[in-house]
Amino acid sequence: MSTVYDFTVKDRKGGEVSLSEYQGKVLLIVNTATGCGFTPHYEPLEAMYREMKDQGLEILDFPCNQFANQAPGSEDEIHEFCTLKFGTEFPQFAKIDVNGDNADPLFVYLATEKPFEGFGKGLKNAALSKFSDMNNKTFGDKAYIKWNFTKFLVDREGKVLARFEPTVDMKVVREAVAAAL
């Protein structure tokens, strides 16, 4: 598979969605959780979506419960939380695994294209790194994603441009998205 358009995912109701439906769009693909310290990222993500969707941006939200059980609800409960608390309008897909033997092939592809390079410097990032390592040790070499709200930027041709760990300032993500548009 050479682009994200080669993948099919499940929508939050279980229906098949070919990512080729997003051909020609700039994508920001995110694994999310409703009970995470990074959950407030929904706010700048939604603001970015509302401002840039007419220029060709799509944000694809994939809830994941593999990080300290921070997305325990059903797809409907997660969707209701996001729409009521953050007013999200961007597409939300079925809850998935991003690590281990059952990792969604899309996220295996994304993480292979742009591997983890660290959370950055600073005490908070070092603490997250230690916590992430403990959480992900059961996945071994299949710990593709290190924490919730890892974001992948994909260009209009379906190629992965960048990976942003949850510790990256959302202003940096926004600037990269704007440049890709």
Locate tokens 């292979």: which residue? 112
Round to whole Å and give the CA distance between 85 and 94: 19
Active site residue 64: no
From the candidates 36, 64, 78, 143, which is the catalytic residue? Answer: 36
Round to whole Å and give the CA distance between 148 and 28: 14
Positions annotated as catalytic residues are: 36
